[in-house]
Amino acid sequence: MPYQHVSVLRDEAVSMLNCAPGKIMVDCTLGGAGHSLAIVEKIMPGGALVGIDQDIKAIEKARQVLSAYSSNIHLVHDNFVNLPSVLTRLDIDAVDGILVDLGLSLYQIKFSGRGFTFAEDQPLDMRMDADTTVTAAAIVNESDPDTLERIFREYGEERWAKRIAGRIVERRRQGEIVKTGELVEIIAAAIPKAAAAKSRIHPATRVFMALRIAVNRELEVLERFLDKAIDRLAPGGRICIISFHSLEDRIVKHRFRDMAEECKCSKELPVCICTHKPKIKLVSRKPIRPSEAEVRINPMSRSAVMRIAEKMPDTV
Ligand SMILES: C[S@@+](CC[C@H](N)C(=O)[O-])C[C@H]1O[C@@H](n2cnc3c(N)ncnc32)[C@H](O)[C@@H]1O
């Protein structure tokens, strides 16, 4: 199985991270190591890269891609929510830059056979980390209708969440739903024909995305990660987050804004009396998006949004 992925906003991320010789950088989402390779080339000589991925296949691929730099890199199979303990184990106190490129790699979608795509009939798995226990099949077959509806509505913004949840529960009476093909059929039958005809996306798109987010607890992990990551940045260090989903980007936008706030006083007070100090400053108020040229070459990049923040000097 080939490991494929085209890095999104690669040059922009590397430039925004201020990569330079001697720096210590973390790539929290190694994938095919495209970003990592570009980073590592800029931080040599003297730099170090910590690369994390929860998918062991990405670690194997990164080991090949980065083999020329093996004495300066540490590859770790873990969830990036555990960044503090990963750094502590490596005896690293603070780092100069952190990159997070959320979502799935092309390999995971097209070649992993783990049911991330509705284009093929595969087991309903959707785990990025095969060591975790909850699969998409477990959620589909064991959740009550309200939970299924909530997952489809909240994570997939699926208008027909209630109908789809109802059809799944009905279909479960005949036996477990174990393959993506069965789920696609149920979804297609649940969505009114007229609505499906008007839609520009495949009827299963939103449900599949919602299930993937639920299986990998993607939003919860991102929220828990952000504060911990900022705490491990050296003064002047930067964090760069690329997201592909409005719910992820909303979390990043709000958390960054909150941590960059200069004053926590009530709006009613005429002057600031708080001693609050912002943890970070926003490097650009507006998010960075791929150029038209990048989207033309790599259409999957079209929904990417990158936000960057810099750690303030006196808040170590
Ligand atoms: C979009 S790909 C990264 C591609 C990479 N930047 C490149 O240039 O090749 C996202 C990767 O992040 C990993 N990932 C997603 N969420 C993660 C998490 N919470 N912890 C660790 N790895 C995660 C996925 O397994 C996947 O390999």
Write the pLDDT tens digit of every residue in 88-134. 999 999 999 999 999 899 999 999 999 999 989 999 999 999 999 99
| Cα 148 to middle of ligand 1, angstroms | 26
Per-residue confidence (pLDDT) for residue 148, from 0 to 100: 98
The residue whose CB lies within 8 Å of the most ligand 1 atoms, and thus the one to mutate among 105, 114, 125, is 105
Domains and CATH numbers, the chain: 10-107+218-311 (3.40.50.150), 133-215 (1.10.150.170)
With a pLDDT cut of 90, the percent of the chain lying above it is 85
Q: Give residue 141's pLDDT.
A: 98
Mutate to test the pocket of ligand 1, among 5, 30, 244 (most ligand atoms within 8 A of CB): 30
Q: State mean pLDDT over 248-276.
A: 89
Q: What is the pLDDT of residues 176-193, one digit of tens each?
A: 999 999 999 999 999 988
**Ligand 1: which atom is nearest the Cα of residue 128?**
25
Report the separation in Å between the CA atom of 23 and the middle of ligand 1, taken as the mean of its atom positions.
Answer: 22
Nearest alpha carbon, ligand 1 atom 14: 29
Range 7-17 average pLDDT: 97
Alpha carbon of 219 to ligand 1 centroid (Å): 14
Tens digits of per-residue pLDDT, 36-66? Answer: 999 999 999 999 999 999 999 999 999 999 9
Ligand 1 centre to CA of 108 (Å) is 10
Best of 10, 12, 27, 29 to mutate for ligand 1, by most ligand atoms within 8 A of CB? 29
Q: 175 CA distance to ligand 1 centroid (A)?
A: 34
**Which atom of ligand 1 has the smallest separation from the CA of 55?**
25
Residue 314 scores a pLDDT above 80: no
Ligand 1 atom 13 nearest Cα: 29
For residue 316, name the pLDDT band (cuts at 50, 70, 90): very low
What is the CA(197)–ligand 1 centre distance, in A?
Answer: 34
What token pair was written down for 291?
């150029």
* Residues 228-241, mean pLDDT to the nearest whole number: 97
